[in-house]
Amino acid sequence: MVGGEVRLRQTHSGLRDGGGIDRGALGSYTETMGLMCRVFRLAVMVCVLCLGAWPAAAQGDAHGAATARAFARLRDDPVRLLAFLAAMPKGADLHNHLDGAINAEDFVAHAVAVGLCIDVGQHAIRRPPCTKQDPPAGEALARDAGLRDAMIDALSMRGFVAVPGGETGHDHFFATFAKFHEAAADDPGALMATEARRAAAEHIAYLEIMWTPHVRSAIGLAATMRWQGDDFAADLAALGGGLRGLVARARAETDAAEARKDALLGCGTPRAQPGCGVVIRFQAYSLRTFPPAAVFAQMAFDFALAAADPRYVGVNIVAPEDDKVAVRDYTLHMRALGFFHHAYPAIKLSLHAGELAPGLVAADALRFHIRQAVEIAGASRIGHGTDVMGEQDSAGLLAEMAHGHVAVEINLTSNAQILGVQGAAHPFGSYRRAGVPVVICTDDEGVERTTLTDEYVRAAETWHLSYGELKSLSLASLRYSFLPAGEKARLEGRLDAAFRAFEERF
């Protein structure tokens, strides 16, 4: 290259100095043209060699850029924004509870279909035998024209408005679970089919659902053990052999639920519904509001189940974090989870932590929950993390999460309804600025009357996100899933293809 530059300079000087083209200059000119021709031929060869791959990538980039421009034009139009994000591929919903995902209408219909009862005073679904106060659901609904609407309001956040001195959003939200429990517990496979159908319609490839069969039996195991305090090895030994049988029963129930889901969706038949293509895995969870022995027994069961059954890809801890037992035992729970995590290092943890707001708990409880979930329990993902800016050394914690690739599952509607945290008060922007991996999830879409699409809309509107940022959130939801590497790569390939097809429309 250096020689070529010298010759070109010589040529220019010959033209300039002589006022015409002398023989020396002509010789240089010929040499230079020869060199340029060789360079040109080489460039053509390189282009020919690249021809197979380069134009497709360039086309993809062009489609992506056109999609981003189209999105920028429609972003401020809520109707078109909703339609755009409904059609956009959304990799996964990593934070959703099986029963909370179901609409109240489905629970009421199920109660009628199988003859459950309705507590007309409490607007709750009860198990038979029905009584005068708790008549059969069908009969009660036929008798009272307003009861169906009242039931839907009681089993969800529909129409809920907090009034001073009245029920809070937090209390109304958590009260729904006991009211629909009898309908939800009956047929988990049907609930999964409902979730899968909805996910397919929303272009979601993967659901990581929180569901634990026989969680009450796991709590019951604690009754047979002598709690040794925080000598966890002794506590585990005291649980005895009951765990193994319980794990076998839970796996059999998982088989049955999946078979039921597949049958409802027609999977494996010519009439297979799109929901059959949605991959579903589970997180086993413990309810944190029970006495220490009962929470510990659940954790032992969750880890044993996840170790025995690859459909359970992670472990979680659920129920109101502000509950007085949950607050009292928070550090104990994190230490117990850390103990099990050490015993089962391959099993990943996603923990509800920092689902709190100032005033809901004493200020002390706002300062350490997320940090302990990460540092003591070893969480790979944090559910909610809403109070992160109240943590001691929040900047250090955010940096630690970013450095350790600990993702945060953001549930915007849930945080607004339960905690009253929304808009500029939500730490979504703080997490992103700190480089913490962020994923958008639903939490309890049935109770909240939301969808994953709605959650993307809410994020896009509140933080003025670009198409590229929304696409990154979608890609991150698969990247930070707990799927094994091969399965994850397969779904990521599917998601890339879905984005290419989506962007080609623009």
Report the residue closest to Zn ion, judged by CB: 443
- Which of 71, 282 has the CB closer to Zn ion? 282
DSSP state of 364: G
**How far apart, in whole angstroms, are the C-alpha atoms of residue 443 and residue 439?**
12
- Which of 443, 503 has the CB closer to Zn ion? 443
For the bound state, the minimum distance from the C-beta of residue 415 to Zn ion, rounded and expressed in Å, comes to: 10
Burial class of residue 84 (count of CB atoms within 10 Å of its CB; 0-12, 13-18, 19+): buried
Write a three-state SS string for 34-89. HHHHHHHHHHHHHHHHHCCCHHHHHHHHHHHHHHHHHHHHHCCCHHHHHHHHHHCC
For the bound state, the minimum distance from the C-beta of residue 352 to Zn ion, rounded and expressed in Å, comes to: 6
Q: How many CA atoms lie within 13 A of 442 on its CB side?
A: 30
- Tell me if residue 384 falls in helix, strand or coil: strand
Phi, psi of 382, rounded to the nearest 5 degrees: -115, 130
**Secondary structure element (H or E) that encloses residue 125, with its range:** strand 124-126
For the bound state, the minimum distance from the C-beta of residue 291 to Zn ion, rounded and expressed in Å, comes to: 22
Q: Which two tokens stand for residue 431?
A: 């997490």
Is the Cβ–Cβ distance between 123 and 150 less than 8 Å? yes
Q: For residue 385, what are the contacts with CB-CB under 8 A and spacing of at least 6? A: 353, 354, 355, 370, 408, 409, 410, 427, 431
Q: Which two tokens stand for residue 267?
A: 């999977």
Number of C-beta neighbours around residue 98 at 10 A:
22
Helices 485-504 & 54-74 angle (0-180, nearest 10): 70
- Which of 157, 267 has the CB closer to Zn ion? 157
For the bound state, the minimum distance from the C-beta of residue 70 to Zn ion, rounded and expressed in Å, comes to: 34
For the bound state, the minimum distance from the C-beta of residue 318 to Zn ion, rounded and expressed in Å, comes to: 6
Q: Which of 424, 420, 443, 429 is nearest to 359 (CA)?
A: 420
For the bound state, the minimum distance from the C-beta of residue 449 to Zn ion, rounded and expressed in Å, comes to: 16
- Which of 90, 95 has the CB closer to Zn ion? 95
- Which of 93, 443 has the CB closer to Zn ion? 443
- Tell me if residue 437 falls in helix, strand or coil: coil
For the bound state, the minimum distance from the C-beta of residue 60 to Zn ion, rounded and expressed in Å, comes to: 36
- Which of 235, 443 has the CB closer to Zn ion? 443
- Which of 134, 443 has the CB closer to Zn ion? 443
User: Strands across the sheet with 438-440, in order?
Assistant: 90-97, 204-210, 279-287, 312-318, 348-353, 381-384, 407-410, 438-440
- Which of 302, 443 has the CB closer to Zn ion? 443
For the bound state, the minimum distance from the C-beta of residue 444 to Zn ion, rounded and expressed in Å, comes to: 7
The site for Zn ion (CB under 5 A) is made up of: 443
For the bound state, the minimum distance from the C-beta of residue 211 to Zn ion, rounded and expressed in Å, comes to: 12
**How far apart, in whole angstroms, are the C-alpha atoms of residue 47 and residue 45?**
5
**How far apart, in whole angstroms, are the C-alpha atoms of residue 251 and residue 241?**
17
- Which of 351, 460 has the CB closer to Zn ion? 351
Task: Label the pairing between strands 438-440 and 117-119.
Answer: unpaired
For the bound state, the minimum distance from the C-beta of residue 337 to Zn ion, rounded and expressed in Å, comes to: 16
- Which of 99, 202 has the CB closer to Zn ion? 99
Q: Which of 170, 98, 79, 60 is nearest to 453 (CA)?
A: 79
- Which of 182, 443 has the CB closer to Zn ion? 443
Q: Which two tokens stand for residue 403?
A: 């450095």
Q: Which of 478, 395, 466, 488 is nearest to 74 (CA)?
A: 466
Q: For residue 148, what are the contacts with CB-CB under 8 A and spacing of at least 6? A: 108, 141
- Which of 202, 443 has the CB closer to Zn ion? 443
- Which of 443, 448 has the CB closer to Zn ion? 443
